[in-house]
Chains A and B, each alone.
Chain A
Amino acid sequence: MLSKTASKTVASLEAGRNCIKSRNGGWLPGEGVFVHGHRLLEDLVLNKSYMQIVVLNATGRLVSRELADWMEAILGCMSWPDPRIWCNQIGALAGETQATVSAATVAGTLAADSRAYGQGTLVKGVEFIKNALAKQQQGKTAVEITAEEIKSNRGKPNIMGFARPLAQGDERVAAMEKLTEKLGFKRGPHLQLAYDIEAELLAQFGESMNIAGYMSAFLADHNFSASEIYSVYAVSVMSGVMACHVEYADQPAHSFLPLRCDDINYTGTPVRSVKSI
């Protein structure tokens, strides 16, 4: 049976065998390690911060130390060691089974790639505020934009970047606002609009911007795309997850929230036999 492939397609594949071309960089023994044109060991390690290197790897752009420090602080905001939080509970459960700390941290971090919380919310959060600004620039007001979003969510304030599970208000935003001021950053158009939308949500529902909304707007003002922000923060919760693993890894088995058989409520089919079919 023939695959009906064009010969030029096969030729193109042949040309790519055993060869890698990288714009990102790499290691050439005897020459050095390169990251987007910069020498990693002779320049970046000596003169830049780790976060600057992370952002460079994620975007190809070298940002200022101040911006990198701001971006690093976001990771601090995400470093809660509370094992009740869903991604962190993965870390604690992995501690119970004595999975390695690497396995626990990766597993818990992956759990936060969620539509409901964590780094998984960032893409839509950034897209929302960018789209909202585009609408504003076309003549709509923040009030109108907010009303449209609420209507499309059946009257609920389920706008990505605002509100959060478990609590109203987000103390992390307050911390980052202080840092924004300390580092001398100005409020850009995305962030201003986010505040305007927040004012509407507070007035109607008592809901405010969450950390994802704040950072999405701030970074959009610094020309980061949604996918770039998602890349930089792909492992944003890892510190807290790791902490929960550390706490439970050296404790006796079943130390974390032990469950009795009757702690699970079975609501399925009554007992039956295969042979009764």
Chain B
Amino acid sequence: MKQSVDREVKRRDEKFVAKTETKIWLEACCEDNPYIAENVYCHGYDILDLMENCNVIEVVFLLYKGELPSLEQREIFEKLFIGLINPGPRHAATRAAMNVGVGKTHPVHLLPIASMVMGGEKAAGEVEAAMRFFRKSYRKPAAQVVAELSLHAGQDWQRPVPGFGQSYGGIDVLSAKLGCYLSGLPGAAEILNWGQEFSQLLAEKSAGWLSTGLAAAVFSDLGLHPKFAGPLYQLIAAPGLIAHGMEMYTKPLTAMPYVKDENYVVENRK
């Protein structure tokens, strides 16, 4: 079959920048070697100044927002970190981490492997969608949004909107408790309070907050861009993933259940 076009390839000569630009990090070089940094500054603050006067949550906030948080912002950000610091040993991402540990995979691969599992659209990937849901909905009364959802024939309450729904067919009780706690903090703001009311209204449908929705609400109130949501959620969960994965390193392959052959059904065998 004859080619339909002459497949000549021409360079586009796109204009790429000469230097990468950043607003985040300044590296002042050593006097006698321009490749060695002597002083580094994060959004204008010397790293030594930050080490002396700030805690890690404040500096994480600074990295993302360009300014240090207020006391209320720091508190709610920190409490969210603690509340979501471990997805628990039954979460798919944690089970992946534990597989890494028990399987003696190189430990430096534990976190990226587990984080990639955590990155699914029904895990960290949902947080961005939840932030966008809040943007669209929070100006309406929560009751109105629930009523609109109820109008859909056969509404599935497992995941009526991103960040809210059912876990194992019922209310995610732990997330509900976390939502109640967080919304009682001084730093609780518009989105979180709206989400708390929305969650309580969903309770009659056996649904409510999910951890992804909680994160999305706090991130929204802190003014983070939705694109931050998934990676930041992965970061928050990282300590728990590491802990459970590393716990399995000292244990043999038999330390985790393996489905017996009689319980493994292969259909369509020839």
Contact = CB atoms under 8 A, between A and B. Distances in A.
Contacts of B25: 264, 266, 268
Given A260-B35, A266-B26, A274-B45, 9 more contacts: A3-B172, A3-B206, A10-B168, A18-B260, A23-B267, A107-B112, A170-B9, A262-B34, A265-B21
Interface string A208-234: 100000000000000000000000000
Contacts of B269: 25, 34, 37
A267 to B, nearest CB: 5
Contacts of B176: 1
A216 B71 CA distance: 53
Interface in A262-277: 262-275, 277
Given A3-B170, A100-B106, A266-B23, A169 B267 contact: no
Interface residues of A, number: 69
Interface of A: 1-6, 9-10, 12-13, 18-23, 25-26, 28-29, 34, 36-39, 99-100, 102-103, 107, 110, 165-171, 173-174, 177, 180-181, 187, 195, 198-199, 202, 208, 254, 258-275, 277
Contacts of B43: 268-269
B254 interface: no
Contact of A22 (B108, B167, B266, B270): B266
Interface string B57-86: 000000000101000000000000000000
B116 to A, nearest CB: 7
Contacts of B250: none
Nearest to B26: A266
B4 A18 contact: no
B246 interface: no
B4 A195 contact: yes
A222 to B, nearest CB: 16
A254 B35 contact: yes
A166 B106 CA distance: 37
Contact of B265 (A5, A22, A37, A267): A22
Contacts of B10: 167-169
Contacts of B52: 274
6 contacts: A110-B116, A177-B7, A208-B7, A254-B35, A261-B29, A271-B44
B1 A180 contact: yes
Interface centre among B1, B49, B54 (most CB of A within 10 A): B1
* Interface residues on chain B, size class: 35 or more
A36 B268 contact: yes
Contacts of B14: 165-166
Given A169-B8, A260-B29, A265-B19, A18 B259 contact: yes
Interface string B134-156: 00000000000000000000000
Contacts, number: 189
Contacts of B53: 274-275
A6 B206 contact: yes
Interface of B: 1, 3-5, 7-12, 14, 19-29, 34-37, 41, 43-46, 49-50, 52-54, 66, 68, 106, 108-109, 112, 116, 166-173, 176-177, 203, 206, 257, 259-261, 263-270
Given A4-B171, A208-B5, A273 B49 contact: yes
A168 B6 CA distance: 12
Given A13-B169, A167-B10, A277 B68 contact: yes
Contacts of A20: 259, 263-265
Contacts of B44: 268-272
B171 A168 contact: no
A114 to B, nearest CB: 14
Contacts of B5: 198-199, 202, 208
Nearest to A177: B3
A181 B4 CA distance: 13
Given A3-B173, A266-B23, A28 B11 contact: no
Contacts of A265: 19-22
B68 A22 contact: no
